[in-house]
Chain A
């Protein structure tokens, strides 16, 4: 591949944000080099290409870096518009609707998942669970509207909402294993539960979604690190 077309992705295996980008690249059939990052000892490349947040994912295309998962996915959709399915629909109103729900998942769901993973007190966890269930019920309704009876939020193909919510599925499954609470519950959100199975088996997603069991171990590791940091900062 010519230098000006080289695609690289700086990321970590566990991050749902990174997964979003990998799924988008897969949907478009884009070849890329994955550069695994060690967030405890950040590389020069990461610090140079994402000086604002110093976080993953970062897409480097032809030497230019694009940051923030939803910005990156929309960039991929635009650059490789003629390959694979559209990640955003053509109609402006439908695009606004897709952006709305993707932003909703990004702002509401991921923060609650983070609370569930890291907070130890029962009150915070209970509040986060309640907010998560409220969000999932709303997304169940949104799925019915957006899918119009088809397999994905995007209809026949995966769109930005599918990607954004889909990257959370195995994190939710990991939390289900740890807490015993069923988040993607067939009795409460049947359409969403079925959608989740379909998404996890989709060609573009199945190889890149981090396994729930591995995430369970990773969460235990994160919690231990959190506790150690809390102890050392209170000495």
Chain B
């Protein structure tokens, strides 16, 4: 079952990292293919994800699966008896996990990614969106230790990756996107998750990511503007 698991991704992408984390939490050995997707479209990507041409793509027994949330559900179902449960078993709790995962991806992922790479009025609007939508996410925690309840789950994984990345990027560019004053509940959850030692070892080393973002910040800003619009 573990044979021939390959992940096409990038160490620089929080979306790709989500899937790495999912595989590692399930104890699945895999081959990681670190692609340069920021300045090119590698041929493997066009072959295995012709519709969206994006990472991450999981290839299992030669068959590709694209879109990070879909991949994470696939991992959870394929290796159902290994490691932690990424989604709850109870239908209602499962629906809640899917709802919040989609909310985060639709309303928080992109604004968080863009928050450090825009300026002026556009940035103010994005920061306002971040504040509003992250506050809504905090509502999903509702007195629980993790989004997944007593254990971390799919929502914890995806939020952790984005917040980890954003905290580093915001330090590089000197913008305040996430802090204790704005998001006390989220910051408390972040601290709990780091302290639980489950996820933090699966993140890229902080210094390495910081250095990379700092070195390439102009190129990243230009790329984000092209990809997601700058007006």
A residues neighboring B (CB under 8 Å):
52, 61, 64, 66-68, 71-72, 74-75, 78-79, 92-93, 95-97, 99-100, 103-104, 138
In this assembly, does B67 line the interface, its C-beta being within 8 Å of a C-beta of chain A? Answer: yes
Given A92-B78, A104-B51, A138-B51, are A74 and B70 also a contact pair (CB < 8 Å)?
no
Contacts of A92 in B (CB 8 A): 74, 77-78
A-B contact count (CB 8 A): 54
Interface contact A100-B99, CB-CB below 8 Å: no
Contact assessment for A96 and B71 in the assembled complex, using a CB-CB cutoff below 8 Å: yes
| Whole-angstrom CA separation of A97 from B71 in the bound complex | 10
Interface of B is mostly: helix
How distant is the Cα of A40 from the Cα of B139 in the complex, in angstroms? 26
* Interface size range on B against A: 20 to 34
**Inter-subunit contact B67/A79 (CB<8 Å):** no
Q: Which residue of A lies closest to B90 (CB)?
A: A78
Q: Given contacts A52-B103, A68-B102, A78-B94, is CB(A103)–CB(B70) below 8 Å?
A: yes
User: What residues of chain A lie closer than 8 Å to B91, measured between beta carbons?
Assistant: 75, 78-79
Give Cα distance in the complex from A52 to B71, angstroms.
26
Contact: B60 with A100, CB < 8 Å? no
Q: Which residue of B lies closest to A97 (CB)?
A: B65
Given contacts A78-B91, A93-B74, 13 further A-B contacts (CB under 8 A): A64-B92, A67-B99, A68-B102, A71-B102, A75-B91, A75-B92, A92-B77, A96-B71, A99-B70, A100-B66, A103-B70, A104-B51, A138-B51
Q: Is the pair A100, B70 in contact by a Cβ cutoff of 8 Å?
A: yes
Q: Mark B67-82, 1 if CB is under 8 A from A, else 0.
A: 1001101100110000
